Chains A and B, each alone.
Chain A
Amino acid sequence: MTPIVQVNDLRKRYGEIEAVRGISFFVESGEVFGLLGPNGAGKTTTVEILEGLRKADGGAATVAGVDVFRDPAGVKRRIGVQLQASAFPDNLTARETVRFFAACYDLVVDELALLRQVELEERARQPQAKLSGGQRQRLSIATALVNQPQVLFLDEPTTGLDPQARRNLWELIRSIQARGTTVFLTTHYLDEAEILCDRVAIMDEGNIVALDPPRKLIDDLLGRGFTKPVLQQKANLEDVFLDLTGHEIRDA
């Protein structure tokens, strides 16, 4: 395995605040990599630097073999991006939205095939604004796939979705990984990271405080003699919710 994202001593400050304090890590080609951390830890800043949207103050980073600082446009051509809290141009249908982003890459794509990949083919002619939250996230992923990216960056992709839509999106992310695309995601949900990610980096106050496969991080913690005060229940409220309402996605 060769690293597809390499970050070396990356630094970024906003005035007095040091948002990223010299972090180094790499992402292997083909893995699902998770960047975790509380709000304000520096996750989004890190991701946006790697996406070529923000300038760093120091360090080095390459994505898909391209120097992010020297050739941000080259990086943008090779990656797909889903931003936190972003929106699409007004009054376009789902299909036209995909076409719009294909035009941004100066590419002609099979829009319907992309929509099919994210299970939105029947919604192709529907105005983008009328899609449900889960559908809009899937459309967002479709627009991020127009250039057949080597790395797909997803910034908190399941925030605000109901349990069914979250699970549906997890499956989509797995299927994208199965096609050989590296996925770099940030999330607040630790269950999501545990289920999806091959490796996770935990960030706090601009530093990476841990980086390993989720299983290993848990084993290490247990190895240090950690025990939960209360025994884990055999089921939790989410299991009850899904048992009662089913796994069927509720977008329609």
Chain B
Amino acid sequence: MRQTFRLFALLLRGYLRDRTALFFSLIVPLMLMVIFGYLNLGDFGRVSVAIDDQSKNQSSAQLVQILKGIETLQLTDLPTDQALTKLRRTELDMLIVIPQEFAIAPARPGQNVPQIVVYGDDARPQQVAVGRQIVAQVIDRLSFAITQTAPVIGVKEETVQGVRLRYVDFLVPGILGVNIMQLAIFSVAFALVADKQRGVLRRIMATPVRVPNLLAAHVLTRLIIATGQVAVLLLVALVLFSVTIVGGLAPLFVVALLGSILFLTIGFALAGWATTENQVPAIAQLITLPQFFFSGVFFSKNAAPALIRPVTNLLPLTLLNDALREISVQGATLWDVRTQILGLLIWTVAGFILAVRLFRFEKF
């Protein structure tokens, strides 16, 4: 115990002295969070619509007026050719062309019904779908008003009450998860493989140090750093984006620590296997990159192809992100996320066995 603590104190001191590494271990996750937080990828935002009113009569003005009153739509007046150019550059989501001699009047037999042309940007299908639906609804309402018929079916619109989920609320737990993974795997693997190559571990193994104590000291050092990192990220999330952690900080930290320990075992396994520093990034990327994309960091884990979803749902980072997100967003307790915690523990045992098998001090 005393040996572990003394080694830990010195390792931590050395780690904290490496300002560059420390800076980057904080700045990269912060950058990710700020960039993605302000990008607001998931926030649906508004649908930008251009209107080319070629009719300019009372009816068209009435239609434009109604559309302008809808909050979701961001309207601009633009001639068709200009609007189409913008549309191709995805600077616009939709273009509505109101043809000449547009009229809102009951249809008379033998007369053509006025046609509104709607162009949509294929690159933003969700926005276009919403926009089309709104336009269709507006036209329906206008038709009802003119034809004096009541709608056959009424739709009562309700919004789900509760905490309004913004993208940044979704994002923060994901960023936490991915950083716990990166720090644990990269910092352990790089540092220990470097120590191995430079002969540091050989020199240490020439002393009667107890190996479990040395490993524990390394683990403790990383846990302290990880805790600090999680705290800083949370602080920025709370201050800059006023993220609410519904389930409270304590369970969040517990799950974060469990995740750290899990990924540390993987880092040690990697460090045990690799013989040169050049092997580390390749294998570490192989482990982390799929999880980066399929474990629901920046977008829902359901974005993964359905075929591989049964696998991606069991990835360590998926379990960690799910647990962090349920606590942070839905206010889950540790008991509520027991399935994920169990999954994390199973991965930890697997990682530990792998680390012990691959990490042989005699090899140095």
Residues of A within 8 A of B (CB): 51-53, 55, 73-74, 76-77, 81, 83, 85-92, 96, 99-101, 103-106
B200 touches A (CB below 8 Å): yes
- The verdict on A87 contacting B208 (CB below 8 Å), with A100-B10, A106-B3 known, is no
A92 touches B14 (CB 8 A): yes
- A-chain residues with CB within 8 Å of residue B11 when the two chains form the complex: 89
Q: Which residue of A lies closest to B364 (CB)?
A: A53
In the complex, the answer to whether A53 meets B2 with C-beta atoms within 8 Å is: no
B360 at the interface (CB under 8 A from A): no
Interface string of B170-210 (1 = CB under 8 A from A): 00000000000000000000010001001110111111110
| Chain B interfacial residues counted at CB < 8 A | 26
User: Does B18 sit within 8 A of A, measured CB to CB?
Assistant: yes
In this assembly, does B17 line the interface, its C-beta being within 8 Å of a C-beta of chain A? yes
- Central interface residue in B208, B209, B214, B362, by most chain A CB within 10 Å: B208
**Contact A104/B207 with A53-B202, A86-B200, A88-B200 known, Cβ cut-off 8 Å:** yes
Do A99 and B207 contact each other (CB < 8 Å), given the known contacts A86-B199, A87-B200, A91-B17?
Answer: no
A53 CA to B201 CA, complexed, in Å:
11
Q: Residue B18 contacts which of A77, A86, A90, A96 (CB distance < 8 angstroms)? A: A90
- Known pairs A104-B209, A105-B208; A88 contacts B13 (CB<8 A): no
A96 and B13 in contact, given A86-B202, A91-B18 (Cβ under 8 angstroms): yes
A88: chain B residues within 8 A (beta carbon): 200, 203
Q: Say whether B319 faces chain A, with CB atoms less than 8 Å apart.
A: no
How many angstroms from the CA of A230 to the CA of B195 in the assembled complex? Answer: 49
| A76 and B207 contacting across the interface, CB-CB below 8 Å | yes
Min distance, Cβ B277 to any Cβ of chain A, angstroms: 13
Within 8 Å of chain A (Cβ to Cβ): is B6? yes
Residue of B nearest to A102 (CB): B6
- In angstroms, Cα B273 to Cα A57, docked, is 25
Since A86-B200, A96-B14, A104-B3 are in contact, a sample of 20 more A-B pairs with Cβ atoms closer than 8 Å, ordered by chain A residue number, is A74-B208, A76-B206, A76-B207, A81-B203, A81-B207, A86-B198, A86-B199, A86-B202, A87-B198, A89-B10, A90-B18, A91-B17, A92-B14, A99-B6, A101-B207, A103-B3, A103-B209, A104-B209, A105-B207, A106-B3
